[in-house]
Structure 1
Amino acid sequence: MTQSFDIDSFIRSRKQTRAVSDLLKAQAADYLTTLAPLVRPQPLFGEYLQGAPKGSGRETQHHFKEFRTLFDEHAARRPFNLINELEVPLNIISSTPDLFPLEYDHALPDGSTIRVTSPARWVVGYTSFDLGRFRQVIQDPNRSGSELHRFVVHYLMLFHCLSRAPGLGRLLKGLRFPVSFQQLDDFGNLPFCVISSPVTSTLPADEVIRHSTEIAGNDSFEELIAEDAIDAMQDDLRERLMRALREATSR
Structure 2
Amino acid sequence: MTQSFDVDSFIRSRKQTRVVSDLLKAQAADYLTTVAALVRPQPLFGEYLQGAPRGSGRETQHHFKEFRTLFDKHAGQRPFNLMNELEVPLNIINSTPELFPLEYDHALPGGGTVRVTSPSRWVVGYASFDLSRFRQVVRDPNRSGSELHRFVVHYLMLFHCFSRAGGLGRLFKGLRFPVGFQQLDDFGDLPFCVISSPVEATLPPDEVIRHSTEIAGNDSFEELISAEAIEGMHDELREQLTQALAEAPPR
TM class by smaller structure:
over 0.9
The letter of the residue matching 1:229 is A
- Rounded to whole Å, the distance in 1 between the matches of 2:231 and 2:249 is 29
SS of the equivalent of 1:249 reads coil
Q: Deviations over 1:4-39 (max 9, x none)?
A: 000000000000000000000000000000000000
**Cα-to-partner distance string for 1:176-202 (whole Å, 9 max, x where unaligned):** 000000000000000000000000000
- 1:175 matched residue in structure 2: 175
Q: List per-residue Cα deviations over 1:58-87 (Å, max 9, x = no partner).
A: 000000000000000000000000001000
C-alpha separation in 1, matches of 2:138 and 2:39: 26
Q: Which amino acid aligns with 2:5?
A: F
Runs of 4+ in 1 over 6 A off after TM superposition: none
Q: Secondary structure at the match of 1:81?
A: coil
Partner secondary structure for residue 5 of structure 2: coil
Count of aligned residue pairs for this structure pair: 251
CA separation in 2, counterparts of 1:97 and 1:249?
A: 47
- List gaps (5 residues or longer) in structure 1: none
Helix, strand or coil at the partner of 1:123: strand
Partner residue, 1:68: 68
Q: TM-score, normalised by structure 1?
A: 0.99
Deviations 1:185-230 (A, max 9, x none): 0000000000000000000000000000000000000000000000
Secondary structure (helix, strand or coil) at the match of 1:118 reads strand
Q: How does 1:126-141 map to 2 (within 5 A)?
A: 126-141=126-141
Which AA in structure 1 matches 2:220?
S
Q: How does 1:76-155 map to 2 (within 5 A)?
A: 76-155=76-155
Task: Please report the TM-score for the alignment, with normalisation by the length of structure 2.
Answer: 0.99
Q: Report whether the alignment pairs 1:38 with 2:38.
A: yes
Structure 2 counterpart SS, 1:80: coil
Deviations 1:84-124 (A, max 9, x none): 10000000000000000000000001210000000000000
Paired amino acid for 2:85 = E
TM-align CA RMSD: 0.8
1:18 is matched with 18
Fraction of identical pairs, as percent: 84
Tell me the amino acid that sits aligned with residue 116 of structure 2.
V
Q: Secondary structure at the match of 1:84?
A: coil
Distance in 2 separating the partners of 1:39 and 1:233: 29
Shift of 1:166: 3.1
Give the letter aligned to residue 131 of structure 1: L
Q: Match of 1:31, SS?
A: helix
Which residue of 2 is the match for residue 204 of structure 1? 204
Residues 1:250 and 1:67: Cα distance change in structure 2 (over 3 Å): farther
- The superposition leaves residues 214-249 of structure 1 with CA deviations (integer Å, 9 ceiling, x where unpaired) of 000000000000000000111111111111111113
AA paired with 2:17? T
Structure 2 unpaired stretches of 5+: none
Residues in 1 aligned to 2:51 and 2:207: alpha-carbon distance in whole angstroms: 54
In 2, the alpha carbon distance for the partners of 1:10 and 1:56 equals 57
